Amino acid sequence: MTTWPPCGRPERFAIPIRYWPRPWRRSLGLSKLPCTCVKIAGTSRSGTCGFCERREEITTEGGLDVATQTDSLRKLIRSLKDAGLTVSLFIDPSLDQVRASHKCDADRIELHTGRYCDARRGAPREQELTRIVDTAKMAAKLGMGVAAGHGLNYDNVEPIARISEIDELNIGHAIVARAVLVGFDRAVREMIAVMHPGS
């Protein structure tokens, strides 16, 4: 796991590592599921995150449909948790998907924020934000941790960062793209400043 010591309080801003094991799905027990990502969440809370991905995708285009494959996912999650891992499922902001994730005994969810990021400013984006807020609140009430990510950048992250139920934001492309111009130290500092204005 990588941290950024110059940012102060680095334990709050640990950078997770994602690993896409496409050629090894069968050995991981994923051959019949669109779960192709193992996420190492940290040295003190190692975990896995199930993603939905088609082979031809350049990036993850949507969340895992937990509701239609609850039985298979429950078995997989049980085996991962038996190995001492924390399990998170990457889902669209849907109340049905949250209920299904809870039924599968996932520890956490990560909400796909792509539709929010792609929505036009104004009412369309506010509607997507409301879906994320409602989903995060339900997950928290069910006792699950909540993360969010996909498409978040310096211009759209603040409303998501204000959602108290979300304890983790996964942001990669925007920070790396900015770092090409100003370096990682400044890019990370700027993102933290946008996420927590006035702090």
**Residues 50/32, Cβ–Cβ less than 8 Å:** no
Q: At what angle do helices 123-141 and 95-103 cross, to 10 degrees?
A: 20
Query: How far apart (Å, rounded) are the C-alpha atoms in residues 28 and 32?
Result: 11
Classified by CATH at the fold level, domain 17-171 comes out as: TIM Barrel (3.20.20)
**Which residues partner with 18 through β-bridges?**
39
| pLDDT at residue 10, as a whole number | 39
| 3-state SS class at 89 | strand
| pLDDT at residue 172, as a whole number | 84
| pLDDT at residue 48, as a whole number | 53
Tens digits of residue pLDDT in 106-159: 999 999 999 999 999 999 999 999 999 999 999 999 999 999 999 999 999 999
Tens digits of residue pLDDT in 71-105: 888 988 898 888 888 888 999 999 999 999 999 99
pLDDT score of 58 more than 50 = no
| pLDDT at residue 23, as a whole number | 42
Pairing mode, strands 38-40 and 17-19 = antiparallel
| pLDDT at residue 80, as a whole number | 84
Positions of E strands within the chain: 17-19, 38-40, 47-50, 86-91, 108-112, 145-149, 168-170
Residue located via tokens 């400044």: 186
Q: How many residues does the chain have?
A: 199
Higher-confidence residue of 184 and 25: namely: 184
| pLDDT at residue 24, as a whole number | 38
End-to-end CA distance of the chain: 25
The whole-number average pLDDT for the span 60-71 is 82
| pLDDT at residue 42, as a whole number | 36
Tens digits of residue pLDDT in 5-57: 333 443 444 444 444 444 434 344 444 444 434 343 333 344 555 554 455 54
Tell me, yes or no, if the pTM score tops 0.85: no
| pLDDT at residue 51, as a whole number | 52
